Amino acid sequence: PVPLVIDTDTAQDDCVALLVGLLDPEADLRAVTMVAGNVGFERQLRNALLTLNAAGRLGGVPVHAGCRRPLMRPRVGAENVHGDGVGGLSMDDADRAAEDEHGVDALVRLAAEHAGELSVVAIGPLTNIASAALKDPAFAANVKTLYIMGGSNNGRGNITPAAEFNFYVDPEAAKAVFAAGFEIVVVPWHPLTLERAVFGPAALAGIAELGTPLARFFTRICGPTLEFDRSVGIDGTTHPDSLTAALLLHPELVRASGRYNVDVETSGEITRGYAAMSWGVHGLEPNATVVEDVDAGGFLDYLTNLLARPVEP
């Protein structure tokens, strides 16, 4: 199994990504680290614990609170998209505290303990990852591969026309991460998520019909986002974060990818968080692999099979 940490702003598809880390036999999830993003910080922590509980692993995986706001800016949330992030599930169902160790310290420690072997799946703003790289100059080299959900590579952002949410929220952190020397794989919002990782009515009905506790959990937590997506003309739920985790564990789902130099805009008037992806004609060294196409049917089958599993206590 692949040793990994998931760094998350836990709401909706972040929860599904946690299920991937918790339930896929290919995954050895060593910790969950929390970063400020989608919904309130305490709510995100609770959402992560609720997800562990749904997977029958409430006691099994450490959850660490990391940075509570971006490096240089006030927090931006996405409550308008995700609601509370779990479709109103009760906080009481997951009664456990987070670890005392800060998320950034946990990332640095685990990467050093498993140097060259630990992968990190970063599915929120990159504040914790940038902070870990600043704290330990060896962090970037110790991490085997950093999978990043973020960016939108042709001007179809989801929070502004130019930017995808995770890069928009903490552009300075994102810029620092691409300059830090990590082995990076990027899973962008557009075109990848919007064209390959939207579960439409038939897919959602197929999951609901499974009738398992995990399928019910999935349907419930995706409810608010589905409503939002429909209001903006997307007929289904979006799964960028779980796709990112799945691609680490199952690289065979990747159909096409390219080497790019990725840099992130921090100061543009209308382009905050824009990810510039240079494809080789500008004299810039590639610093990331950008996933350009995936096996969409294979990904849906993969998640459906995961949600069909009984929860083992």
What torsion, rounded to 10 degrees, do the Cα atoms 293, 298, 301, 307 define?
-60
Report the distance separating Cα 146 and Cα 132, nearest Å: 13
Report the distance separating Cα 262 and Cα 186, nearest Å: 9
Residue 166 in contact with ligand BDR, rule: CB under 6 A = yes
> In the complex with ligand BDR, which residue's Cβ is closer, 24 or 241?
241
Of the residues 7, 24, 164, 172, which one makes contact with ligand BDR according to CB under 6 A: 164
From 24-32, 158-166, 263-271, 290-298, give the range in contact with ligand BDR by CB under 6 A: 158-166
Of the residues 149, 163, 215, 245, which one makes contact with ligand BDR according to CB under 6 A: 149
From 107-115, 163-171, 196-204, 265-273, give the range in contact with ligand BDR by CB under 6 A: 163-171
Rg (CA), the chain: 18
CA-closest candidate to residue 54, choices 209, 216, 245 = 216
**ω before 191 within 30° of 0 (cis)?**
yes
How many CA atoms within 13 Å lie on the side-chain side of 82? 25
- Residues 10 to 29: which contact ligand BDR by CB under 6 A? 11, 13-14
Residue 128 in contact with ligand BDR, rule: CB under 6 A = no
User: How many residues lie near ligand BDR (CB under 6 A)?
Assistant: 15
Structure tokens at 258: 């390219």
Residue 38 in contact with ligand BDR, rule: CB under 6 A = yes
Q: Which residues bind ligand BDR (CB under 6 A)?
A: 11, 13-14, 38, 78, 81, 123, 149, 158, 164-166, 189, 240-241
